[in-house]
Amino acid sequence: MKENNLDFVLVPLGMLVMAVYHVWLLYQIRRKPVHTVIGMNAINRRFWVRSMMEDTQKTGVLAVQTLRNNIMASTLLASTAIMLSSLIAVLMTGGLTTHSNNTANNHHTIGITFGEGTKLRLTIKFFSILVCFLASFLMNIQSIRYYSHASMLINVPYKNYTNFTSHRLTAEYVTATMNLGSYFWSLGLRAFYFSFPLFLWLFGAIPMFVCSIFLVFMLYFLDVAIDLGWVADTTATTDEETG
């Protein structure tokens, strides 16, 4: 009963701490992008895309190779996520069985026994981890989609077609496509981060809560940018620069 009370108190509290932090981070990205690493990278990608599209004959190969590296990173995370999802699914269904020594037809499951009356709680824990890995897989698949689309668009010499077509490609559209790929990649990576507290939840609510607090502090130092080389006039930065 005491363990159940800790699960009902510390687990929601740990999830609330992580949720509040990411709501604050989203607000910072939208309102003060230069104060966050994600916002600064989005602005830098805008400058990079514009420079790559100035002369596609000289920078086309470099642009495609850079996007290919991003695609490979997303592919690695997606492959790892679906592999871990399959492993968690096997553990949840008790698929690992062997023959016992007494009777050849008698099977027993290989696994860790957490005690009587914990089957439902253990299923919820494994299912939470499974959801994190499946979400990471889907996010990285979307990241690959947008990166692949951007790799085709970034080599279009958009300036040459300005006067010949009513619909023309712009550097802002390519930037938005590439930023979407980066955002989905970041979300997929966050799903991996979220799986750490849920994994420690298997050992109790206290390790899960401690890991949640530690994870928030770690992400804060990874997400908050230090203003090096940026001018003080950051109020002119609009929301469009992060899109």
d(CA 143, CA 223): 20
Given a cut of 50, the residues of the chain with pLDDT beneath it are: 1, 96-117, 166, 231-243
Whether residue 209 contacts residue 11, with contact meaning beta carbons closer than 8 Å, is answered with yes
Give residue 91's pLDDT: 81
- Model pTM? 0.79
Give residue 144's pLDDT: 95
Whether residue 150 contacts residue 177, with contact meaning beta carbons closer than 8 Å, is answered with yes
d(CA 5, CA 2): 5
Digit-coded pLDDT (tens) for 91-117 = 887 754 444 444 444 444 434 444 444
Give residue 108's pLDDT: 44
d(CA 57, CA 45): 19
Domain ranges of the chain: 2-242
Digit-coded pLDDT (tens) for 46-83 = 999 888 888 777 777 888 898 999 999 999 999 999 99
d(CA 194, CA 132): 7
